[in-house]
Structure 1
Amino acid sequence: MQISVIGCGYLGAVHAAALAVMGHEVVGIDVDERKIADLSQSRAPFFEPGLPEALTEGFAAGRLAFSSEISEAKNATVHFIAVGTPQKAGSNAADLTYVFAAVEALMPHLKPGDLVVGKSTVPVGTARRIAELIAPTDARLAWNPEFLREGFAVNDSMHPDRIVYGLADDGNRDELKQVLDAVYATPIAEGAPVLVTELETAELVKVSANAFLATKISFINSMAEIAEATGADVTELADAIGLDARIGRRFLNAGVGFGGGCLPKDIRALMAHADEIGVGDSVAFLKEVDEVNLRRRAHVVSLAAEMLGGSVAGKRISLLGLSFKPESDDIRDSPALSIARLLSEDGASVVATDPEAIENARRVLTTVEYADSVESTVANADLVILLTEWKSFVQIDPSALSPLVSAAKIIDGRNVLDAQRWLAAGWDYRGMGRYRHEATGH
């Protein structure tokens, strides 16, 4: 099939490359000419495992192209809208400026029978507005939410755990489903389940999933607060309740909280939209979910002050991790970056490292020193804090770091380190909502 993907940010670039690998002829379009130049050379504008290889494969097969000219979409019969929907300045609501700008730019190039497919995460009702907008072109509309996990996005695109089609019940459902089934023929053949819903349901799926996951994370972080106050261990608690099949163990990991470009933005947008349609009380609990999450960042700073005798001022604190999660260079709403900023504001001398996110962090936070290695980061540190669970950090040998630091103190902000191993090496170890251990080594 001939397909255009409008918007080549994180979602669009991955989606375009994956569709080309699946065998379609794809053109990705974006107004950012530098981004287009990078993608055209198989260079990913952001770190995502597997994306450079997918781009290279698409180009080698002659099925992938990128352009800054919307007119290049004219030969496509399926057009994916994959632009960003950031949080509005001064508001929790989603900014739909880019969505409608993309649709309006595309309209002169739509042909009767073309299918416009929304993938951007939008408030319920947006799809109906777009359907009305494109009606004069005789193009049709579907909504096909994305469920990509940063760090696994290429695999999630090629092998999705579900595919949702939002289709208006206007007599054309079967025809439009056949078109989308052809787009996703490869994963469907592998057994990926397909769900056909109304447009409104499809729009609600992604934010609902993210709201649930955010709630689960904030729940276990709330339990971590209780565990710390009572002497319980939240990791053992999570293991115990996670064995209940109704609950499950995934996303029950206490730590410094969630971040990134999806969960925080999506739960706030859902709250804002619920208020707009008069059902704000139905998701009022998400306000506390958000507040619990943000509170975890301040908690780490308080714990650091406690371990350093009451204040972080004048202390050298080393941070391991800047991205909001491993296998990503994304620092949007990153807990690690927030903690770095808070420590710096409280007078600490902060030095940080990350396998991929240093350059992104350097552009937005200038009060922090950045280092290229763990060793140079922890040199003469009064305290080390692990904030992103990169594999290379989890596997650090605590005995090898001991001679480098001024004081063998560490906060495990993700509860991923082997506490007993660090204690045996003589470190003062503190986790999130875990027993307060005493070092046994030297």
Structure 2
Amino acid sequence: MTDSDPAALQTLLRLFQAGLRAADPRAVLAQHLPEPPARGRVLVLGAGKASALMAAALEEAWPEVAIGGLVVTRYGHAVPTRRVEIVEASHPVPDAAGEAAARRMLELCDGLSEDDLVIFLASGGGSALLSLPAPGLTLADKQAVNRVLLASGATIGQMNCVRKHLSAIKGGRLAAAVYPARLLTLAISDVPGDDPGTIASGPTVADPGTFAEAREILRAHRDALPPAVWHHLEAAGEETPKPGDPRLARAEFRMIATPLMALEAVAAAARAEGLTPLILGDAIEGEARDVGTALAGIARSVAEHGLPVRAPCVLLSGGETTVTLRPSDGPPGQGGRNTEALLGFTLATAGRPGTWALMADTDGIDGVEAAAGAMATPDSLARARAAGLDPREALRRHDATGLFGALGNLVVTGPTLTNVNDLRIVLLR
């Protein structure tokens, strides 16, 4: 990895790792478990990129408790477990394995009693992995909708509103199936605002959303939808369970890791490095390149005015940006919302000395399998141009991952088996 100050890059990597450790299920899950039930059985269910490691952490915390169940995670994210079955399925576009896993979960809920305890392990990615279509719809219908949503620039909240109203298990429907058993959801948040109803599309919590809202989100894309999808939304059959539904009376929700917890851990690590941390927010959304440009503006203020904090410092932020694909952009490159935000930042800082940044997805996959994200240095633009690369063209073509890969500045972790969304670290000296 080439840079005039490799120590700065190592600092960024250490801070990123501190954020990942704060969201590791093995470090945080056990303290949120209740006492095992005196009688009745324990059924463990779950969905998400972190769900397999969460199940393993639960087994480790309760070595003598008779538990069983099923969780579904992304391909390549399984870990060894002894009592809870792990199934892998596709993300972000659902597949038949996820559909079969969701159907089996509902079957496992048959015959539960008031003495039983169900623990649901929720984390980012659960929406696509828990893919059981509503009656009258097919998996192909849901796959088509997912593709439309992923290219539309819709927020995660909007995407999940639609998903809940096309599902037989999301939006509180799993909680309704669990009743009258006690239900405890342990969640790792990957969504801005930590809304329980948005994490994995809220299969165990009440859903205030409506079919009408789902129609409005998709209205501009109606012509690209399978006819059965629009018909289902217009028919507006059985609504998702709403707040106050008696079937959710025994359901409890506990957040065990969040983006803010990760940012606070990074801030503590920064102080230990002699850097002043400033957390800008844990729920920053918007077009990725625009967020990068805004962060560059704050970095410039720090360098020129010592505001809102003096260097040496780190600017920290989390949330989930979006990348809107337009036909006029041409065929997209290797993508990555974090690398695209980083390229926007790099262009806006224009080689300013003393400015480094790391932007990455805490699940280890920034849209493509190749990287979690990337790092930028003061000489990134100069090195790119010296190599015959055009940074502005790479941004136009959504090929930021390709550009940073050519520079040797990708952050490659592989699946981290957790997910508290994007983590952006700007280092100023």
Tell me, yes or no, whether TM beats 0.5: no
TM-score normalised by the chain length of structure 2: 0.35
TM-score normalised by the chain length of structure 1: 0.35
Could you say which structure has the higher helix fraction? 1
Report which of the two structures shows the higher radius of gyration computed on alpha carbons: 1
Could you say which structure has the higher strand fraction? 2
Larger relative contact order (Cα-Cα within 8 Å, sequence gap ≥ 6):
2
